[in-house]
Structure 1
Amino acid sequence: MGLPEILIKFQSLAVSAIQRSERGIVALILKDDTKKDFDTKEYSIITDIDPDDWTEENKDYIEKAFLGVPNKIIVERIDEDATDYNEALQRLATKHWNWGAIPGIGESDVSTVATWLKTKRDNFDKVYKMVLPNNDGDHEGIVNFTTEDIKVGERVYTTAEYTARLAGVFAGLSLQRSSTYYKLNEVDSIKESEDPDQDIDDGKLILINDEGVKIGRGVNSLTTLDVTQGEDWKKIKIIEGHDLVKEDIRRTFNDEYVGRVNNSYDNQVLFISAVNAYLQTLEGEVLNPNVDNFVDVDIEAQRLAWEGIGTDTSEWDEQEIKNNTFQSKVFINGPMRFLDAMEDLYLKVNV
């Protein structure tokens, strides 16, 4: 397989990146005994919902998620008397989805679900993200929603119950904007935060009153930063960009290369060239066009791999490292700068 085929694959992904980013998949877990002859339902549009399948409350959660216009909603049903959510989580672990919520979740189950989510992202490289109530997960894949007493018409929703609505918002938003100041037109009132700035700094996603009820700032629960996770990792929009690029590259590699192409440096160059062409196409929409966004062979990782099996590489220069591919492994890395949305104005008026 030569360069043109893989280039076409990546180019089509790049062209559709914005469309795909605003058509994400929501996963909901609901306890419901209305009908027990199914475990999973998938809906593409709100009219697909059969009202006889769900309680009024659960049907409402699905409809609230659809307000964000996601591409699809996957609903995993478990029995009312289930003592945990493990069965549904196991089913979701084999499926593709972007944003999850469990609107009926109790306080005792939140930390368990958060740990599951972290494990899937950190150890299995999944792109799952979840909106959880009152969970300071300190993780880019967890949104810690904390607003209480959300009144919509005659009904007042708890924090947990409104996570389904937010999962739909995040799944339906394009990478051309952030969720900051996203207006929830259906919400009449909320219990307002006493210190919204501090809450946001603490990794809490809150709703605010500002000519209507809006998302205060689109942040996840990450608060502990280091050299690999800077300030921008706290933004939902940035992590969405990370996940889009990572998923596109990994999926194309799996579909077009794994088991089909010999691991020579020449073939690695073909793949790297295609990835770089894909990244250039994303510039201006997802990536900052004013910096270099590219990947290349990860020299240090490849050198360490050889050293790890006892090979002395001290005399090898960079090109020699590249030429000596390691077993079936392809090590690549490179700098990328993701575009955030305009959110903060610093205005000085000189008179």
Structure 2
Amino acid sequence: MGLPEILITFKTKGLTAIQRSERGIVAVILHDETEGGETLTVYNSITEVDFTKWSERNYDYLKLIYEGVPYRVIVYRMGLEDTNYMPALAVLKNMKWNYLTIPGIATEGVPSIASFIKEARDQDHKTFKAVLPNSKSDHEGIINFTTDRIDSILSKTQFTTAEYCARITGILAGLSLARSSTYYVLNDITAAETPDDPDKRIDAGELILVFDGEKFKIGRGVNSLVSFTTDKGQEFSKIKIMEGVDLYQDDIRDTFEDSYVGKVRNDYDAKQMFVAAIRAYQKSLQPDVLDQSHDNTAAIDVEAQRLYIEGRGIDTSAMDDTAVAMYNTGSRVFISSNVKFVDAMEDLNLVCNM
């Protein structure tokens, strides 16, 4: 594949980012021993679900997920008494999905799922996320849903916090990057246990439901991250921001693996064309994903290349940045980007002068 075609691929990914983000993939683990059910099933629509192969409650969970209109739902079936999620996670780890949910998960099962998500993101560079009940994980990959006792027209019986995670997962997977989940209205809810201290809960990394006197809605679209660092600032606690970050990483990584690895020479000119493709992609993500007022850019990472060269025992003290950038780095490609992701309007400070 030639470089011009690769440039078009990048531009197309950018231009379709919003549409693609509206159709995320949900992975769900269900405990079910209904006769005739497969261990692993992939559904593209709720109409494909054979309700005779699921318990009534699990069918309710699938309907909850599809209320958010995700692109695809991957279902892994486990035994009713099985509490070992490792085999299921081993299978799902090699598949492509955005959000994981385990409706009705027991309290003791939550930490192992949170650990899996953290490891997948921090060590394996996956962009997996999970909606878990009462999970103070302090991590951008975990959405800590805490609202309980939810009455919904989508079920004959009340949903617990752990069960309604399925609904939240479907919403987040199907929500456009052009907006956040803050104040997303849940028209199916007729009653829920809402907190008296919503601001405190949100600041503690909880995704809660609130009632505005007429309707129930998501208080603020936050994940469980509360310990901010230089590498992970407060913006990393926003679900919308993390969706943009994950989309950005996935698109560039997937395009590099599909269109560059083994197919394009690794010299200075080819690297610069790769950089140009990334810049074109960044521009197409404006204004809904990247801040158009920011200088979103990319370049050959000169400092990383300098370290690479010196690691091979070569003195670079007499080499300027251009010489370092043009140095042959074998099969290694060092690129750095500078971008700023844009949030949605959520807070109003209105001064009325009379």
Same fold, judged at TM 0.5 (above): yes
Stretch of structure 1 that moved more, 297-306 or 251-260 = 297-306
Offset at residue 84 of structure 1 (A): 1.3
Show the counterpart of 1:337: 340
Show the counterpart of 2:172: 170
Percent same amino acid at aligned positions? 48
In the alignment, does 2:254 pair up with 1:272?
Answer: no
Distance (whole Å) between structure 2 residues aligned to residue 240 and residue 341 of structure 1 = 12
In the alignment, does 2:257 pair up with 1:259?
Answer: no
In the alignment, does 2:114 pair up with 1:114?
Answer: yes
Deviations 1:80-133 (A, max 9, x none): 222311111111111110111001211111111101111111111111111011
Show the counterpart of 1:227: 230
Give 3-state SS (helix, strand or coil) of 2:123's partner. helix
Tell me if structure 1 keeps the 8 A contact 2:178–2:289.
yes
Distance (whole Å) between structure 2 residues aligned to residue 307 and residue 83 of structure 1 = 50
Stretch of structure 1 that moved more, 32-41 or 22-31 = 32-41
Tell me if structure 1 keeps the 8 A contact 2:10–2:277.
yes
Distance (whole Å) between structure 1 residues aligned to residue 78 and residue 266 of structure 2 = 45
Give 3-state SS (helix, strand or coil) of 2:74's partner. strand
Offset at residue 37 of structure 1 (A): 5.2
Deviations 1:234-260 (A, max 9, x none): 100000001111111110000011112
Offset at residue 327 of structure 1 (A): 2.8
Distance (whole Å) between structure 2 residues aligned to residue 38 and residue 121 of structure 1 = 29
Offset at residue 285 of structure 1 (A): 2.2
Within 5 A, what are the aligned runs for 1:1-351?
A: 1-35=1-35, 38-153=38-153, 154-210=156-212, 211-351=214-354
Offset at residue 306 of structure 1 (A): 2.3
Distance (whole Å) between structure 2 residues aligned to residue 38 and residue 285 of structure 1 = 40
Distance 1:325 1:125, change over 3 A: farther
Tell me if structure 1 keeps the 8 A contact 2:39–2:77.
yes
Amino acid at match of 1:203: G
Give 3-state SS (helix, strand or coil) of 1:73's partner. strand
Give 3-state SS (helix, strand or coil) of 1:150's partner. strand
Stretch of structure 1 that moved more, 73-82 or 336-345 = 73-82
Deviations 1:17-67 (A, max 9, x none): 110000001110001110365211111111111011110011100110000
Offset at residue 291 of structure 1 (A): 1.2
Amino acid at match of 2:85: Y
Distance (whole Å) between structure 2 residues aligned to residue 224 and residue 277 of structure 1 = 34
Offset at residue 303 of structure 1 (A): 1.5
TM-score scaled by structure 1?
0.97
How many residue pairs match? The answer is: 351
Give 3-state SS (helix, strand or coil) of 1:124's partner. coil
Give 3-state SS (helix, strand or coil) of 1:295's partner. strand
Offset at residue 171 of structure 1 (A): 0.6
- Structure 2: give runs of 5+ residues left out of the alignment: none
Tell me if structure 2 keeps the 8 A contact 1:38–1:77.
yes
Amino acid at match of 1:51: F
Tell me if structure 2 keeps the 8 A contact 1:302–1:325.
no
Distance (whole Å) between structure 1 residues aligned to residue 108 and residue 11 of structure 2 = 46
Tell me if structure 1 keeps the 8 A contact 2:140–2:223.
yes
Q: Could you say what the CA RMSD is over the residues aligned between the two structures, in angstroms?
A: 1.2
Tell me which stretches of 4 or more aligned residues in structure 1 moved more than 3 Å.
none
Tell me if structure 2 keeps the 8 A contact 1:287–1:338.
yes
Tell me if structure 2 keeps the 8 A contact 1:2–1:270.
no
Tell me if structure 1 keeps the 8 A contact 2:37–2:53.
no
Amino acid at match of 2:45: I
Give 3-state SS (helix, strand or coil) of 2:158's partner. strand
Tell me if structure 2 keeps the 8 A contact 1:178–1:237.
yes
Give 3-state SS (helix, strand or coil) of 1:157's partner. coil
